[in-house]
Amino acid sequence: MTDQPVPLSAAPAGMRVTRPRLRRMALRAGLYAMLAGFAAFYLLPLFVMVTTSLKGLEEIQSGSLVALPREITFEAWSKAWSGTCTGIQCEGLRPFFWNSVAMAVPAVILSTLIGALNGYALSHWRFRGSNILFGAILFGCFLPFQVVLMPMARVLGLLGLAGSIPGLVLVHVVYGLGFTTLFFRNFYVTVPGELVRAAKIDGAGFFRIFASIFLPLSLPIVTVTVIWQFTNVWNDFLFGVSFSQAGSQPVTVALNNIVNSTTGVKEYNVDMAAAIIAGLPTLGVYVLAGKYFIRGLTAGAVKG
């Protein structure tokens, strides 16, 4: 993939004389209008979420969906963070947000670490059956998790991890390994084998070669993998709702409980504030490191 844009509209100047300048300008204007229209379509939900979260309930009931708040209030935000009810508890999203942090951080670190070693071993220390093993790991990337939900629930119970955050960490590490291994393997495969062979002849072992040749090269792929894993683990709902209990739920499950609770007055402003809070970490990662986010997305897409 090259970043060189194909210069379609920058054709040799002589070829364009035939097309009247006015028409060309109208075409450009139409093009930008269309791009702006689509940008509005993608931004509208975010805009509505933010403005709704800053309004009072009364203003929501009486005002327009897309109007800016007449009076900005952060009440909904503080309620969403520390006061609203998620089922029986009424402590807001805060404890669940930290549950998600406690789940995502170890799960991301462990699956990235194991994926790096796996990818290294599979790309430069091949043995009989290592390709079959790689295929078997890859296959897991396509698995619809519904197939493993019930046996996983039983195994977590047997391990004494049912309804716990360490249990969720285990689940996310196990089912994240396919992608992390794939990412690292495909990256390390591009390192010349001669380099590794020369190091072996000099007497360097598995870990020595990893630390002195591969690790220094790994920053880009580590970034891609960490972002990919973090986004997936943070945004997961299926595992969270299947394997957690009242106290150990991740933020996505708590958000859904807030929004889809049937009791009491619907506080749309609190719902929206809660949704933004739950989305902020991954959105922040995307804004800060969008390039790596897209790279993970497309790499994961093309191969799995």
Partner 1 sequence: MLSWLERQIPKIILAPTFAAVTVFVYGFIAWTAWISLTKSRLLPNYDFAGLIQYRRLFDNPRWDMAMGNLMVFGLLFILLSMVLGLWLAILLDQQIRAEGLIRTIYLYPMALSMIVTGTAWKWMLNPGLGLESLVQRWGFDGFRFDWLVDPDRAIYAIVIAAVWQASGFVMALFLAGLRSVDGEIIKAAQVDGIPDWRIYASIILPSMAPVFMSAFIVLAHLAIKSFDLVVAMTGGGPGYATDLPATYMYAMAFSRGDLGQAASSAMVMMMVIFAIVVPYLYSELRAKHD
- Site residues for partner 1, window 64-103 (CB under 8 A)? 64-66
For partner 1, the binding residue among 255, 267, 270, 292 (CB under 8 A) is 255
Q: Work out whether 8 is an interface residue with partner 1 (CB under 8 A).
A: yes
Size of the site for partner 1 (CB under 8 A): 99
Query: Mask 110-139, x = binds partner 1 (CB under 8 A)?
Result: ----x--xx--xx--x-x--x--x--xx-x
Q: Which residues contact 163 (CB under 8 A, 6 or more apart)?
A: 156, 243, 244, 245, 248
Q: Binding segment for partner 1 among 71-79, 80-88, 182-190, 296-304 (CB under 8 A)?
A: 296-304
Three-state SS sequence of the chain: CCCCCCCCCCCCHHHHCCCCHHHHHHHHHHHHHHHHHHHHHHHHHHHHHHHHHCCCHHHHHHCCCCCCCCCCCCHHHHHHHHCCCECCECCCCHHHHHHHHHHHHHHHHHHHHHHHHHHHHHHHCCCCCHHHHHHHHHHHHHCCCHHHHHHHHHHHHHCCCCECHHHHHHHHHHHHHHHHHHHHHHHHCCCCHHHHHHHHHCCCCHHHHHHHHHHHHCHHHHHHHHHHHHHHHHHCCHHHHHHECCCCCCHHHHHHHHHCCCCCCCCHHHHHHHHHHHHHHHHHHHHHCHHHHHHHHHHHHHHC
C-alpha distances in angstroms, 247 versus 62, 95, 188? 37, 8, 41
- Complex with partner 1: residue 164 or 267, whichever CB lies closer: 267
Q: Work out whether 268 is an interface residue with partner 1 (CB under 8 A).
A: yes
Q: Binding segment for partner 1 among 75-83, 86-94, 143-151, 182-190 (CB under 8 A)?
A: 143-151
C-alpha 291/C-alpha 286 separation (Å) is: 8
Give min distance, CB of 42 to partner 1, in A: 5
Give min distance, CB of 154 to partner 1, in A: 8
Q: Work out whether 263 is an interface residue with partner 1 (CB under 8 A).
A: no
For partner 1, the binding residue among 85, 161, 191, 285 (CB under 8 A) is 285
For partner 1, the binding residue among 144, 160, 216, 264 (CB under 8 A) is 144
Give min distance, CB of 150 to partner 1, in A: 6
Q: Work out whether 48 is an interface residue with partner 1 (CB under 8 A).
A: yes
Give min distance, CB of 74 to partner 1, in A: 19
- Complex with partner 1: residue 149 or 215, whichever CB lies closer: 149
- Complex with partner 1: residue 54 or 137, whichever CB lies closer: 137
Q: Binding segment for partner 1 among 34-42, 72-80, 81-89, 157-165 (CB under 8 A)?
A: 34-42
Q: Work out whether 205 is an interface residue with partner 1 (CB under 8 A).
A: yes
Task: Look up residue 44 and give its amino acid.
Answer: L
The closest of 75, 96, 77, 99 to 86, measured between CA atoms, is 96
For partner 1, the binding residue among 83, 95, 140, 166 (CB under 8 A) is 140
For partner 1, the binding residue among 24, 237, 246, 247 (CB under 8 A) is 237
Give min distance, CB of 256 to partner 1, in A: 5
